[in-house]
Structure 1
Amino acid sequence: MWNVMGIFGIYIMFFRELIPESWPVDITVMPSSIEIKMGEDCKALSFPPEVMVVPPSCRGLQYVPGDGLHMRLLFQADLNTKSLPAVGESLKPKKRCTFYCQSCGESIISNQTFLRVLPLPSEDWNDLVDEWCCHPNPFNNSILQPQNGDCFLGPNYFLVNSGTESACSGSEILNTDSQGAASKSSDSALNSKANSRIICKRCKTLLGEIMLSGATKYYFTELLVQPSEENFTLAPRSAHIQRTLAHALTELSSTRSTFRFSIQGTDGATYILIWLLNSDTFLVESAGNMASSNVFTLLEFGMSSDSRPSEIWKAVKLLYHPCIKSRNKELIDAWGNDAGVRTLTFPSHTCLEMLLILSQSNISLPPSLRWMNSFQVAFLKM
């Protein structure tokens, strides 16, 4: 939960259904709502009780072909914005938790208690030791290996000791030999750690993999973590992926000053190039059906005649390039040779889902806001 007090922000609103043929139109701006009258038809856009409009701030009223009617407003917010916790934030030492497959809800690891939950350093930490030490690297070729009861958190995955597999009842190991043939096994991870992947027994979704060191790596996008004493609730897939990716991007940008990211699949292919712009965006959306929304403001603003209150969320704004089907190959090579670009790896099917989510966000924007330079624009809700 993000506590935000006294926020002031400029919102750009688009009323798509207001075309010149429907004029004249009367627009009344009030502290808690906006009323739009077209003849005898009157519709109201209500804001959350924590959000107040500054009525005299209405300016920039203009009609843009293809977008609709534009209007700029100044908002004042005194609110607790909804920002659901990331998967890693749900993992606490000495607290019993259960891992579920995010796709189907199957219990993967039941009633697991970790004695230590620690963040991992950057993946190139060992390369920097020479700069820290005045003598030969004492950690040369060392690997951060979780012991029994350990859970190490990466930006988009976590590592556990292979012994944790003994508590695993909802997954199985898929072994791939050098010829590409696959076989399934329920034996210990130590007996099948090379080129092994972990899949859900029920839906066969890729959940993680067995590292060559023997540690088990799970992707945050594929699992839900809840305290064992709480009832399980399966979150919508799209919302879970958005939240996981947004948290990874913002965490890396704040701790390592990284704003450009290459999203790669477990197959080694690059799917998306992302440039993070803003991590302090607020998304206000209607409690009604967004599919029929004709009003947009910094992501979407639903307008309905029943004046139901809206909800406000924290979101991130980003630019992206899709890279499937050999698109943007030169840019992929350039970013791949840039030390300022961070690579994040996810299961390949999840990368395609991410690209679909970004595309849906982009197409929901008015045409004038869908592109910035050569990049496409999208938002992710946290």
Structure 2
Amino acid sequence: MTERDKFNGSMCEVIVEVLPNINMCNMFISLPQELSSYQTVSVSKSECTLHFSCGTELFLKLPRGVCLIPDAVISVKQDENILTARLQMDERTSVISALSGDILNDMLTCEEASPALSLADTQLWAQCKQCKSEVIGKVKFRRVLPLPSVDWDQASEGWFCHLHETDGQKLKPQALLPAKDECFFTELFFLLHSDLVESFMEDEQSGNSILCPRCRLPLGAKGNQSSLKLWTHSVNWLGECGTVHYKRNVNEMLLSLLHNIDKDNFGVNCRLVLQTQTAPRQHLYLVTMNTNQKLLVSEDSCFLSNTAVHKSGYCYEVKNDPVPEKRVCTREIKMNLVSLYAVKLMYEVKEGEDEQTGSWVDDANVHIIPCSVPMLQEVRTLLETSNCYLPDNMKVVDNLSVGFIIKNSPVLSCNR
């Protein structure tokens, strides 16, 4: 008698970069130890098949809107467990990819959640996102308004560089100080009156940072005079019945930040530095390479889950053998690929101040963004997870690491 069982090892991880400008795609496949070296690669319009010396065949089913030119395999190379292939795409795929990316960008812009719509003229309270303890008691904001940009106060320092110091100080606008019933906001923080926060602890490493008194999660930073920055990443805003009115995850916040900065860059790559207020300061330098990168990934990809370790979809046949552990791999493995759009960028992490971090601060084209330690760490984890299946020679460009921030989360269908 035979029965089907699932192998509990790691599965193939497939990442395909669609390059519409040259009608090509780069395919990177991370192979498990159970698969030996490949023999041939065959391509049809909607499928790529890899034949391995162990007798296994891996079928990669492409999503709608992606068409390959049959048998147009430009190159194939295997380096240990990473197989890299360059395939030629039908030119119609380039047009579809460009249109789909533009539509997605428009949708993200229209659907972007705004605190102005969620927090104004309603009874609210804020809770620590980690321990759920109350941070701000019942409050009703009369006005909820956006600040010019997340780094507007730093950027304004250069508005008066042509004046003498004393004259410049006279002309500078007064710091924005919200009243108790006002809330100013950016992508990364809320600017509030400090009296709204009932209790907090000061961070011993930085007198400017404040912590949740219960779990010590960084909640924000003290601002000028009576103002307070409350990190969007650290709190949830709830209504009277406990329903969530507004919350944001790091992926959404970073996409919104990149999108708004990119609008003012006139085609120049967006460059920013996430900077913590702790001592020593931590820096995460980011520069965009492609703000509309189309990727094809497997349905079980690390891009679509919180972990990078997955159960395999491979079917193994258990024969009627005296030793039950002995298994023979079936001949076919089928994987469905789905389309994602992402921001492809380069990044670098540094701790402490040095000549390089000083050059970032002095560069007018680099946006210095204050953030919490948890946010910087979570963004770093997102980027490191996204490139873990790229070959080593693709993980670094110009001495900077390569990563992706995913823009859309498709509804997956299992057709296996």
Q: Provide TM-score, normalisation by structure 1.
A: 0.70
Instruction: Report what 1:366 is aligned to.
Output: 391
Residues 158 and 217 in structure 1, CA contact (< 8 A), matched pair in contact too: yes
1:142 partner SS? coil
Cα distance between partner residues in 1 of 2:45 and 2:370: 47
- How far residue 374 of structure 1 moved from its aligned partner, in angstroms, is 1.8
Aligned counterpart in structure 1 of residue 189 of structure 2, from 154, 157, 163: 157
Cα distance between partner residues in 1 of 2:71 and 2:40: 19
Cα distance between partner residues in 2 of 1:318 and 1:144: 33
- Amino acid of the structure 1 residue aligned with 2:300: G
- Amino acid of the structure 1 residue aligned with 2:181: G
Aligned counterpart in structure 1 of residue 75 of structure 2, from 47, 61, 75: 61
- Spell out the pairing of 1:189-200 with structure 2 (5 A cutoff): 195=207, 197-200=209-212
Instruction: Report what 2:411 is aligned to.
Output: none
Question: 1:24–1:97: structure 2 CA closer, same or farther, 3 Å change rule?
Answer: farther
Instruction: Report what 2:61 is aligned to.
Output: 46
Question: 1:358–1:247: structure 2 CA closer, same or farther, 3 Å change rule?
Answer: same
Question: 1:137–1:181: structure 2 CA closer, same or farther, 3 Å change rule?
Answer: closer
Question: 1:306–1:16: structure 2 CA closer, same or farther, 3 Å change rule?
Answer: closer
- How far residue 205 of structure 1 moved from its aligned partner, in angstroms, is 0.2
Instruction: Report what 1:279 is aligned to.
Output: 291
Instruction: Report what 1:125 is aligned to.
Output: 156
- Amino acid of the structure 1 residue aligned with 2:360: W
- How far residue 264 of structure 1 moved from its aligned partner, in angstroms, is 1.4
Question: 1:26–1:338: structure 2 CA closer, same or farther, 3 Å change rule?
Answer: closer
Query: What's the RMSD between the two structures over aligned residues?
Result: 4.2
Question: 1:117–1:279: structure 2 CA closer, same or farther, 3 Å change rule?
Answer: farther
Residues 207 and 222 in structure 1, CA contact (< 8 A), matched pair in contact too: yes
- Unaligned runs of 5+ residues in structure 2 are 1-18, 303-307, 311-331, 408-416
The aligned length equals 337
Cα distance between partner residues in 1 of 2:231 and 2:130: 13
1:11 aligns with 2:25: yes
Bigger Cα displacement from structure 2, 98-107 vs 259-268 = 98-107
2:259 partner SS? helix
Question: 1:18–1:36: structure 2 CA closer, same or farther, 3 Å change rule?
Answer: farther
Bigger Cα displacement from structure 2, 345-354 vs 79-88 = 79-88
- How far residue 21 of structure 1 moved from its aligned partner, in angstroms, is 5.4
Cα distance between partner residues in 1 of 2:45 and 2:379: 38
Cα distance between partner residues in 2 of 1:29 and 1:231: 50
1:213 partner SS? coil
- Spell out the pairing of 1:77-116 with structure 2 (5 A cutoff): 77=97, 81=104, 85=112, 91=118, 93-94=120-121, 99-106=126-133, 108-109=135-136, 113-116=140-143
Cα distance between partner residues in 2 of 1:245 and 1:36: 37
- How far residue 366 of structure 1 moved from its aligned partner, in angstroms, is 1.5
- Amino acid of the structure 2 residue aligned with 1:209: A
Deviation per CA, 1:122-164: give whole Å up to 9, x if none. Answer: 22337537989xx988754511122343221224212123454
Residues 63 and 336 in structure 2, CA contact (< 8 A), matched pair in contact too: no
Question: 1:174–1:15: structure 2 CA closer, same or farther, 3 Å change rule?
Answer: closer
Residues 243 and 380 in structure 1, CA contact (< 8 A), matched pair in contact too: no
- How far residue 27 of structure 1 moved from its aligned partner, in angstroms, is 2.6
Greater relative contact order structure (CA < 8 Å, 6+ sep) = 2
Q: Provide TM-score, normalisation by structure 2.
A: 0.65
Larger Rg over CA atoms: 2
